[in-house]
Chain A
Amino acid sequence: MELSKEKLLWMYKKMVQIRQFELKTDELYKKNMIWGTYHLYVGEEATAVGACAALEPTDYITSTHRGHGHTIAKGADLKRMMAELLGKETGYCKGRGGSMHIADISTGHLGANGIVAGGIPIATGAALASKLREDGKVTLCFFGDGAANTGTFNESLNMAGIWKLPVVYFCENNQYAMSAPVNKFTAVKNIADRAASYNMPGVIVDGNDVLEVYKAVKEAVDRARKGEGPTLIEAKTYRWFGHSKSDPRVYRTREEEEEWKKKDPIKRFAEKLLSEGVATEEELKKIDEEVVKEIEEAYQFAVESPEPKVEDLAKYVYAEEGE
């Protein structure tokens, strides 16, 4: 493997953090501690981590309604994320946004977005800014298979194509847009095939293989940074849980779910790290335990944090002068 041990173990740890964060989120919801909705990322950990591992800390991402994984992979603080889910003043959005709107400008995260395809034009604009300013930054735009059927997907990828913007459009095809199977609602077999319409490379990767994701994104990021323009990457993956908290998953079989669980991205990566002698079982176990502790600390921080004050309801509607 070309990557350093340190980087590979960082990737492993991030994937485990995402998994544990999501399982804790589900647990807290079932204890009535989470007020609104959330969309769990379990099963897709390799896409967020592989993609973000290929970015510099100063590069930008845009995220989706299923954004916890992207946010953790880009380097956000688990405590402030958990506090946001619990609607606390110490959360990333001071309790005003909740699960679907977490942003962390300090790590280049321009925001999760409650609107499907919300991030696509925003990422395009951030990349346009980088081109105009020649700041050398790349923007990676996460979106789902459902977003690929919106009008702004066409508009924005065309704009990025004509202007050769430093952007990577990264489609997480998790097979379902809510209940809608991708093959029933998408006229082409692969979303990546659409890249031809925008004069950019279209790349398909196994979204459950973190190193394959990393490799494809790294190549696209390097191209973008050199001024050679955008890339459309489609990572085929699967969400293990329902679309959101209330989804009984009547549109798919338990057998199908079991087949995908056999391709668990964390298990696969752990096996690879062990079989190639990068890490020992003890080392991985130690990481697992560290993460359990971090999640517990994040939970404690969130629980003990204050709620926003009702008298501050109208704060942050407008930016005041000098802010």
Chain B
Amino acid sequence: MAEKLYIEALAEAIKEEFERDPNVFMMGEDIGIYGGAFGVTKGMYPKYKDKLIETPISEASIVGAGVGAALVGMRPIVEIMFSDFMMDAMEWIVNQAAKLRYMTGGQLKVPLVIRSPMGSGTGAAAQHSQSLPAMFAHIPGLKVVMPATPYDVKGLFKAAVRDDNPVIFFEHKLLYWTKGEVPEGDYIVPIGKADVKREGKDITIIAGSITVIRSLEAAEKLKGEGIDVEVIDIRSLSPLDTETIVNSVIKTGKVLIVEDDNKSYGWGAEVLSRIVESDAFDYLDYPIQRLGGKDVPIPYNPKLEGAAVPQVEDIIETVKAIFGKE
């Protein structure tokens, strides 16, 4: 199987979906000849210029028009340049896309994908660096996914385009240039299924997006400490695969949840609650631990920026503390 970059796997999925279904097209700012702010559509323009609708800086109406096109049978992909800019489009995501099906008694459907880069680590500071998936996972009617690997980004993107519901698709910026195995051609990673990225017996780390990569790195280092870590990539926040999480917790009895969103009211709190409410509660032999972003806007200075979200060392230290190792 060929090794590809996350950004290449995503671009491949976009092009294959363009070819597969004439109703699929993409709208967004600077996605044409420029190739998008992060280069996801780089090089696509000459061949797919009818599929790439370049828009003015009008996030609310880009998403709103995506909703309108979806209602009449298209399958639009909307790129929002930075997920922070989705705040300008919240009306169209929360009050329109998420609700039109329900409030028309199932008459309308909104097969819309909104894909957007998120996260810190690029020195872009507070208005270009947030991780906000939990905010969207709170809204009934939306699906929320955040693939961590090149394999998953391709398969989940195809699932998102083919889903009849609005799907918010988060891509952590630091993942774009990570490598992994990606099969040629068509395959689907289903929305709503978590994935055991590393099997282990001593503790379950539940992570998503960038924190999966950091947790896997931490797990390798913890092996030297004699701690066998299982890493679960939740992949989808909504719907959330409680079963895979619960099964792992029953096996290991210890849990660390690592999220890139800031911790208060984050998705880690929801995952924790699902564990506590489940049969797995009786198997816990240590209080569930959570690592999340600090409750601060993302700062500019690289030392401060790095300290604002969980890093590999934070994960290692927390796990060691659970096992009573300094």
Chain A residues near B (Cβ < 8 Å): 60, 62, 91-97, 101-105, 110-111, 113-115, 118, 120-130, 132-133, 139, 151-152, 155-156, 158-159, 162, 315-321, 323
Contacts and interface: CB of A to CB of B under 8 A. Distances in A.
A155 B105 CA distance: 30
Given A62-B68, A114-B95, 15 more contacts: A97-B105, A105-B107, A115-B96, A121-B67, A122-B64, A125-B67, A125-B69, A125-B71, A127-B68, A128-B53, A132-B53, A132-B74, A133-B74, A152-B60, A159-B61
A96 B105 contact: yes
Contact of B105 (A122, A123, A316, A323): A316
B103 interface: yes
A95 B107 CA distance: 12
Nearest to A323: B164
Contacts of B164: 319-321, 323
Nearest to A123: B68
B130 to A, nearest CB: 22
A121 B60 contact: yes
Contacts of A320: 164
Interface in B71-104: 71-74, 76, 91-92, 95-96, 100-104
Contacts of A102: 104
Nearest to A95: B105
A115 B25 CA distance: 27
Nearest to A135: B72
B68 A129 contact: yes
Contacts of A126: 68-69, 71-72
Contact of A93 (B76, B104, B143): B104
Given A103-B108, A155-B58, A318 B165 contact: yes
Given A97-B105, A111-B104, A155-B60, A317 B141 contact: yes
A93 B105 contact: yes
B70 interface: yes
Interface in B151-165: 164-165
Interface in B40-68: 50, 53, 55-56, 58, 60-61, 63-68
Which of B61, B95, B96 has most A Cβ within 10 Å?
A: B61
B69 A111 contact: no
18 contacts: A93-B105, A96-B103, A104-B107, A114-B95, A115-B96, A121-B60, A121-B61, A121-B67, A121-B68, A122-B67, A124-B64, A124-B65, A126-B69, A132-B74, A151-B60, A156-B58, A316-B102, A318-B143
B106 to A, nearest CB: 4
Contact of B104 (A92, A115, A315): A92
B123 interface: no
Interface string B201-243: 0000000000000000000000000000000000000000000
B39 interface: no
B109 A323 contact: yes
A319 B55 contact: no
B108 to A, nearest CB: 6
A159 B56 contact: yes
B302 interface: no
Contacts of B64: 120-122, 124-125, 152, 156
Contacts of B102: 96, 316-317
Contacts of B95: 114-115, 118
